[in-house]
Amino acid sequence: MKITTDFNYLDNIPCNTGVNLQILTATQPIRLKTRLIGVDPNMSVILAMSNDQDWLSAKNFIREGQGAVVRLINHDDSEANIVAFRSQIQKIMSICGRWLVLDYPQQLQKVALRNFSRISIHVECAIIDEKSQTELSRGYLHDISINGCAFIGEFIKGCTVEARYQLQVKFAEIQFSMLVPITVKNIQYGDMNTVNKQYGLVFDANNQETQDFIQQVILYHLSN
């Protein structure tokens, strides 16, 4: 995760870019999907407000001065950067359109998905048998890249290099899960007294499915 104050990138993100908005509350985070209306450099970031059920349920928390976290995925960028920043609601507008005006950020966080560097994360997940769909090992992702990931979890009986499984990540707070096919490329057993083992995995899905999976995992990681 790169922290930067180079705001040219944010200022030039295209309108209608997808946005994951998190409203910060004292009890539980509220996550909403929306789109970018535009950026007024050094002044504000403008998002669309929706009429769907999630937005209606959150209406009592959407008020001026409320803290928020914004995460954007710019698919037009060659590196498919995820950009994240903290802000607060500056104004709610309903004259020209249903717009949420946020304060311009003081710093940005950027993750480039299409490079081959590994991003350190900690996301709970499980290895699933392809045929029986039974859970073989529970653990967590230690890092992730466009090529693959490192899974640390319980010993998988009979597992060998080139074995094929499915990797399942459950996003508990939004009651959603994702499965992606994987192949084991290396196994680090370490000390025999250690319960958890590390498995190096590569993704077997097509490019778009893999990228969608990685984006969701990183966004979930950044929101926790």
pLDDT at position 24: 84
pLDDT at position 173: 54
Read off the pTM: 0.62
The region of weakest confidence among 33-42, 58-67, 189-198 is: 189-198
pLDDT of residue 76 exceeding 70: no
For residue 118, give the amino acid letter: R
The region of weakest confidence among 109-118, 158-167, 192-201 is: 109-118
pLDDT of residue 67 exceeding 80: yes
pLDDT of residue 27 exceeding 80: no
